[in-house]
Amino acid sequence: MANHKSAEKRNRQSQVRRLRNKSNRSRMKTAIRKIDEAVVAGSADEAREALKQAIPVIAKTASKGTIHKKTASRKISRLTKRVNQMTA
């Protein structure tokens, strides 16, 4: 437990950031799950639409610092590759 005023503030800040990061990560995972479900179902149009909606969500998660920029890029690339292979 924090004993100093500055440590208590740091603890509060960490909790706020943890919740914000959790929310961002959850939003991103939901967007990715929608793509996966569309790919498994074999629906090319739904997969393309879900990808179009997921790319900005993943990029925003990275810009907020929740995930690393290169991790976001890798996720976008792999999802795009899956959707493109499915439609081809």
Q: What is the CATH number of the domain that holds 49?
A: 1.20.58.110
Closest to 58 measured CA to CA, from 26, 83, 86, 12: 26
Confidence of residue 78 (pLDDT cuts 50, 70, 90): very high
Give the count of alpha carbons within 13 A of 76, CB side only.
18
Range of the domain at 78: 5-87
Nearest 10 degrees: CA dihedral of 19, 20, 21, 23? 80
How far is it, in rounded angstroms, from Cα 86 to Cα 29? 20
52, pLDDT greater than 80 = yes
- pTM listed for this prediction: 0.89
Total count of domains within the chain: 1
